[in-house]
């Protein structure tokens, strides 16, 4: 009897295992077909392994000698600044490696409250709230703030995290054409029937290096009784006379209601969601990915920040920002508030690169921003030029679909204050040489 039951169980298990293996084989076939289509389109993205700390000069696995890095969002060079590193080490030693908890349980330390207060002072706002990443800040804001009675009006090229954050809320959604103020006004007129109206835009758009016309956006918002939200991830620390961002650059600090930004770029390079273009959202699920250990924040009215502490899901369900990241970011803000010399240096070097590249015959998107997209159009061309640039000691990356629209492939060069003039000149020389080799220049 017992042997019969064992035999019966073995026989019934065999079809289940066969079906599972068949399903796995089917999955493998689908995945390989999709991967091969990516390779065939010339949009395959390989990860280059850096074997040194982040900075203007790095070492890359498989590449001989030192490499000049023109890829990082390390706009002010603070990720390798000795005072920032020492601050992180001191904080790590005093407060530990992590909190092992979310903020409202037992994950709030005095350094978190101090950094939030410092962020609010820096942006001249009432209060601020920290998140593991700016992706989380964008995921948490709209759902907590807006209801089905409200409306949100979003630039069509806003970052994926803004797009996904808006998807999570129940507000009525309007998308206006990129930087098109006539279209925004038409959408605002249409949205007058809703309780709250929130205009959402990136301050500086990370793929094209262009800047939102905040003066006009704020004028329209005032005319139609709307609020203004700006994501300043590619502006905080270096745009504006003292690095406060695009609202300072364009003179509307008192008219922007809410600012989200990151600690993961100019403010020391703490980890967090990397900000790619809006098409990145095609591959994200309904609940966005949560960055590990990095740093993002919302700053604005005190009552809004209090509401986010009660209702923002990424804040309530994510572990606290690690002490070392807090210490680094706090020191980075101190350095910025003491002097704007680093900001001025970066602006001068950005102008040097842009003017030389345009004089050589390249098309550089955007204006006066250290994101300098070298527009090439063809994905395979961008990939090949980037590979040949690495052979000449220059680290740049080609961007293609789905990160940018089809036909808009480019190499995104990013200038840092810690690049020397010689670094920039060498980069331009390599672009000219490789561009001629591949027919991108005559």
Angle at 379 between CA 374 and CA 383, to 5 degrees: 75
Residue 265 annotated among the catalytic residues of the structure: yes
The answer to whether the beta carbons of residues 268 and 239 sit under 8 Å apart is: no
Residues 217 and 183 sit within 8 Å (Cβ to Cβ): no
Name every residue whose Cβ is closer than 8 Å to that of residue 196 and which is 6 or more positions away in sequence: 145, 146, 149, 150, 151, 171, 227
CA distances for 437 relative to 384, 390, 391, angstroms: 10, 14, 13
β-strand partners of 300: 127
Residue with tokens 């390390």: 74
Catalytic residue among 112, 194, 234, 419: 234
Q: What is the DSSP letter of 278?
A: G
Euclidean distance between CA atoms 83 and 116, whole angstroms: 20
Selection from 368, 358, 348, 433 nearest residue 394 by Cα: 433
Q: What is the DSSP letter of 322?
A: P
**210 contacts: CB under 8 Å, gap ≥ 6:** 179, 204, 365, 366, 367, 369
- Which residue in 80, 133, 161, 206 is the catalytic one? 206
User: DSSP assignment of 99-128, as one string?
Assistant: -SSBHHHH---HHHHHHHHHHHHHHT-SEE
Closest alpha carbon to 258 in 102, 145, 377: 145
Residue among 434, 430, 439, 441 at smallest CA distance from 67? 430
- Rounded to an integer, what distance in angstroms lies between the CA atom of residue 314 and that of residue 307? 13
Residue 86 CA to residue 324 CA, distance in Å, equals 10
Q: Check: CB of residue 381 under 8 Å from CB of residue 440.
A: yes
Q: Where are the beta strands (DSSP E) in 156-277?
A: 172-176, 197-202, 227-231, 258-262
Catalytic residue check, 234:
yes
Of the candidates 159, 265, 369, 408, the residue annotated as catalytic is: 265
Write out the catalytic residue numbers.
206, 234, 265
């Amino acid at each position: 009897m017992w042997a019969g039951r064992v035999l019966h169980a073995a026989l019934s298990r065999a079809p289940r295992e066969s079906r599972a293996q068949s399903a796995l084989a089917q999955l493998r076939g689908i995945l390989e077909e999709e991967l091969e289509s990516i390779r065939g389109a010339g949009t395959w993205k390989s990860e280059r392994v850096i074997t040194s700390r982040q900075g203007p000069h790095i070492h890359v696995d498989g590449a001989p000698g030192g490499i000049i890095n023109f890829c990082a969002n390390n706009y002010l060079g603070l990720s390798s600044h000795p005072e920032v590193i020492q601050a992180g080490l001191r904080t790590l030693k005093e407060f530990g490696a992590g909190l092992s908890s979310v903020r409202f349980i037992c994950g709030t330390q005095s350094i978190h409250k101090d950094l939030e207060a410092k962020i609010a002072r820096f942006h001249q706002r009432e209060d601020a709230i920290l998140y593991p990443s700016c992706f989380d800040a964008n995921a948490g804001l709209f759902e907590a703030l807006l209801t089905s009675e409200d409306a949100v009006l979003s630039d069509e090229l806003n970052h994926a995290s803004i797009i996904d954050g808006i998807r999570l809320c129940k507000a009525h959604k309007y998308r206006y054409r990129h930087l098109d103020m006539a279209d925004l006004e038409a959408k605002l007129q249409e949205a007058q029937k809703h309780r709250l109206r929130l205009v959402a835009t990136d301050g500086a758009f990370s793929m094209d290096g262009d800047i939102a016309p905040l003066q006009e956006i704020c004028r329209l918002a005032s005319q139609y009784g709307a609020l203004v939200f700006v994501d300043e991830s590619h502006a905080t620390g270096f745009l504006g006379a003292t690095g406060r961002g695009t609202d300072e650059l364009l003179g509307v600090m008192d008219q922007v209601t809410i600012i989200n930004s990151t600690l993961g770029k100019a403010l020391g390079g703490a980890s967090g969601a990397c900000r790619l273009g809006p098409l990145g959202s095609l591959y994200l699920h309904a609940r966005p990915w949560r960055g590990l250990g990095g740093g993002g924040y919302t700053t604005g009215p005190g009552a809004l920040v209090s509401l986010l502490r009660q209702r923002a899901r990424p804040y309530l369900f994510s572990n606290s920002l690690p002490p070392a990241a807090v210490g680094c970011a706090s020191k980075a803000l101190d350095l910025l508030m003491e002097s704007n010399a680093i900001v001025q240096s970066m602006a001068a070097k950005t102008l040097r690169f842009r003017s030389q590249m345009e004089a050589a015959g390249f098309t550089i998107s955007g204006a006066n921003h250290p994101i300098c997209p070298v527009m090439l159009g063809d994905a395979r061309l961008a990939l090949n030029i980037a590979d040949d640039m690495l052979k000449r000691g220059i680290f740049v990356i080609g961007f293609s679909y789905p990160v940018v629209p089809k036909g808009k492939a480019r190499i995104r060069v990013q200038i840092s204050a810690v690049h020397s003039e010689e670094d920039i000149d060498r980069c331009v020389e390599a672009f000219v040489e490789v561009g001629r080799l591949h027919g991108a220049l005559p």
